[in-house]
Amino acid sequence: MYVLPPLTLGLGAVIRLAVGPGLAAGTAAIVAVLVALPVIISALTLRPRWHPKLRALPAGAAEEHLRRAAARMPPETVRAIVAARARACLRLRVDQLPVFCTSPDDPPKLRISGTFVPHGPLIIIGDAMTAPQAAFLLAHEVGHTTRCQRRIHLLWSLAMTVGWILLGLLLAPAVLPAAGLLLAVLLVAVAWGREIGADVAAARQAGEGAADWYALALETARRAPWYQRVLLASPIHPPLRLRGLYTRRITGRAPGQAA
């Protein structure tokens, strides 16, 4: 992920040097029509497109998985999962939304985290949290299912994947470093905006769990092996400490502080 942007930017620049600005602009136009156009149409229509792997799942498989995972979780956590899934289904206008709970063998970080995969669509949630922690995390993930968040995500992914090669193909080498830096700053700013937006909405809805979850996440990050800490330091997410700080302003509780 860290090597892809400079690599594709460089590839675009090399093609431009080899074939000249005219042909490079033509290549950029082809890339834009083939790759960008379908994504822009998806961002406008927001029709959920099921991932082939999810489509291939036997009917009821996701439901069976959730039923089995529910057996090892507190009933309140299961209720929070079911309620969050219902809210997300309404927003996505789908009849069902698979929820996958991590298994007890997963590393600790996975077991306290959550993610919404818009192209699934599906929600993956850790199984090692208290009910308030899970309620906050689920509220955060459901926050990513608003129409605005999904549109931003689609366009962000587009810029993240083909934006770099387009810069390389279209811009003169002299302005390329500045343009690359600007795109990187923009992508990080938009990603942080998405996360902060989902955090704020979730903390307002499930404030009790926000402070608890950040306390747990900070503690888990502190104890995590180095390779997990490198993953956690991804610039695409605001630092955990910062997220704990602004959610504290909403909930009035510092991470780890009793209610």
User: Which CA distances in Å does 233 have to 9, 129, 223, 224, 230?
Assistant: 23, 22, 14, 12, 5
Cβ proximity to Zn ion, 36 vs 117, nearer residue? 117
Q: Which of these, 106, 131, 144, lies nearest to 216 by C-alpha position?
A: 131
Cβ proximity to Zn ion, 195 vs 212, nearer residue? 195
CB 200 to Zn ion: min, Å? 12
Buried b (16+ CB within 10 A) or exposed e, 41-58: ebbeeeebeeeeebeeee
Cβ proximity to Zn ion, 51 vs 237, nearer residue? 237
CB 198 to Zn ion: min, Å? 5
Binding mask 139-178 for Zn ion (x = CB under 5 A): ----------------------------------------
In which order are the strands placed within the sheet that holds 114-117?
99-101, 122-125, 114-117
Cβ proximity to Zn ion, 101 vs 191, nearer residue? 191
Tokens of 189: 């700013």
CB 204 to Zn ion: min, Å? 15
For residues 212 and 259, what is the distance between their CA atoms, to the nearest angstrom?
A: 9
CB 114 to Zn ion: min, Å? 8
Cβ proximity to Zn ion, 127 vs 195, nearer residue? 195
Check residue 210 and give left, alpha or beta (phi > 0: left; psi -120 to 50: alpha): alpha
| 184-203 binders of Zn ion (CB under 5 A) | 195, 198
CB 163 to Zn ion: min, Å? 21
| Chain residues in the site for Zn ion (CB under 5 A) | 195, 198
